[in-house]
Amino acid sequence: MANDRTILSVTDVTRQIKLSLETKFPRIWIQGEISNFKQHTSGHLYFTLKDEGAQISVVMWRSRAASLLMVPEDGMKAIVRGSITVYPPRGNYQIDCDQIQPVGVGELQLAFERLKKKLSEEGLFDVAHKKPIPEYPETIGIITSETGAALQDIRSVLSRRFPSLEVILVNVRVQGAGAAEEIAEAIGDMNRYGKIDVLIVGRGGGSLEDLWPFNEEIVARAIYHSTIPVISAVGHEIDFSIADFVADLRAPTPSAAAELAVKDRRDILEVLGNMWYTIDRNVSEMLSSFRENIGRLITSYSFNKPKDLLRESNQRLDDLERSVSVSFSHVLQFAQQRCRTLDQRLEALSPRSVLTRGYAIVRKDGIVIGSSRKLRTGDVAHIEFHDGTIKSRIEP
């Protein structure tokens, strides 16, 4: 017996065990419950997979961990894919894992609920933290895939409603491994770039797995820390993502996000039209009351030199009044017209333009005289015509 005894070193036997195990289990799927889950500062994941009868150590290296849809937690049932490896310095074996799939479709939903609860408790969804969306943004940042349907949808809505915009796109992957990190980085980049008034972050519809990057903590925190207001636009109406809860405004779809971001220019034109109506009406009313005062001035006092001119201008004021009332009748159509047309017509009615038609402004000591009662015999008045001002003295 003693002669048969081959004495192996620890290293030798471990090498044989390693060879035997690693050849026998090159790639296997194992189902069990996760326990002792630990994420090392290096980014590697360590945990134990167990069932009623046994347990086995699992390691997932950082490079592979990055592709996980959700962070594993103790108690989670999962199917792990990997190969058995032996670690000679410690004399143990473990699964070198490259994939972890939660068991049952409910797991992603559970992960979603857990993260939602956690971030909600931390205050990431607080209404008080939400920033207002600017009413008239000039530069819009979009974070999505440049080949996705979402970008086309947003583009067509913005083109229709308010094309005079600067739009800055950061192209990111919106699904799969690494997408969440890219989206979070893009949000940071947009903030550092700094010339953006509002951000749209999102993608078109897809499965829960496809939309998953928008349910990741790293994206939620990037949105929370953005100083640029964020509109989230993930999937369809029925899809709610963690990003939606953190965002300053949730849009049900990418198209809707574009509609929320900019006003329709036709509506703005109507607002402009209404403002012009008010300005025009007020100034026209001031003009006509001024006209009455000039009329009184002429009949109450006689002017030295410009008497005839004033009479003439009084006649022409009739013309002015006619054109003002014409403008009243058309004023409601302003909104439907191009702003430029509007400008030209209004400019023609400007009091300064009216001076070229024989109308004059009377000033004393630089102040416009709107009433005959403000002038006395002997007063010096300056009368402004379109081409200059003359000095006159009020006679008895």
Partner 1 sequence: MTTKKTTKQSFEDSIRRLEEIVEALERGDVPLDEAVNLYEEGIQLSRACGEKLKATELRIKKLSKDMKGQFEISDLEQ
**267 near partner 1 (CB under 8 A):** no
**319 near partner 1 (CB under 8 A):** no
Neighbours of 221 (CB within 10 A): 16
Which of 63, 350, 356, 371 lies at the binding interface for partner 1 (CB under 8 A)? 350
CB-nearer residue toward partner 1: 28 or 275: 275
**181 near partner 1 (CB under 8 A):** no
Of 113, 110, 131, the C-alpha closest to 223 is 131
Q: How far is CA 301 from CA 68, 193, 296, 327, 392, in A?
A: 93, 68, 8, 33, 12
**365 near partner 1 (CB under 8 A):** no
CB-nearer residue toward partner 1: 29 or 328: 328
Residue 396 per-residue DSSP state: -
Q: How far is the CB of 297 from partner 1 (least distance, A)?
A: 14
**169 near partner 1 (CB under 8 A):** yes
- Considering only 296-304, 305-313, 337-345, 374-382, which stretch makes contact with partner 1 by CB under 8 A? 337-345
| Pair 112, 215: CB distance under 8 Å | yes
Which of 79, 298, 346, 390 lies at the binding interface for partner 1 (CB under 8 A)? 346
Neighbours of 126 (CB within 10 A): 11
| Pair 72, 47: CB distance under 8 Å | yes
- Segments in the chain forming alpha helices (H): 10-24, 62-65, 106-122, 149-161, 179-193, 208-211, 217-225, 242-246, 254-261, 265-300, 307-330, 339-349, 351-355
- Considering only 52-60, 68-76, 302-310, 360-368, which stretch makes contact with partner 1 by CB under 8 A? 360-368
Which of 133, 149, 177, 268 lies at the binding interface for partner 1 (CB under 8 A)? 268
**382 near partner 1 (CB under 8 A):** no
Q: In whole angstroms, what is the distance from residue 126 CA to residue 147 CA?
A: 33
Of 269, 49, 228, the C-alpha closest to 132 is 228
Q: In whole angstroms, what is the distance from residue 243 CA to residue 212 CA?
A: 10
Which of 20, 278, 333, 336 lies at the binding interface for partner 1 (CB under 8 A)? 278
Which of 10, 340, 377, 396 lies at the binding interface for partner 1 (CB under 8 A)? 340
**282 near partner 1 (CB under 8 A):** yes
CB-nearer residue toward partner 1: 68 or 169: 169
Give me 62's structure tokens. 């950082």
Which amino acid is located at 69 in the chain? Answer: L
**136 near partner 1 (CB under 8 A):** yes
Of 396, 388, 391, the C-alpha closest to 305 is 391
Q: Which residues bind partner 1 (CB under 8 A)?
A: 134-136, 138, 141-142, 146, 155, 158-159, 162-171, 189-190, 192-195, 197, 265, 268-269, 271-272, 275-276, 278-279, 282-283, 286, 290, 338-340, 342-343, 346-347, 350-352, 361, 367-368, 370
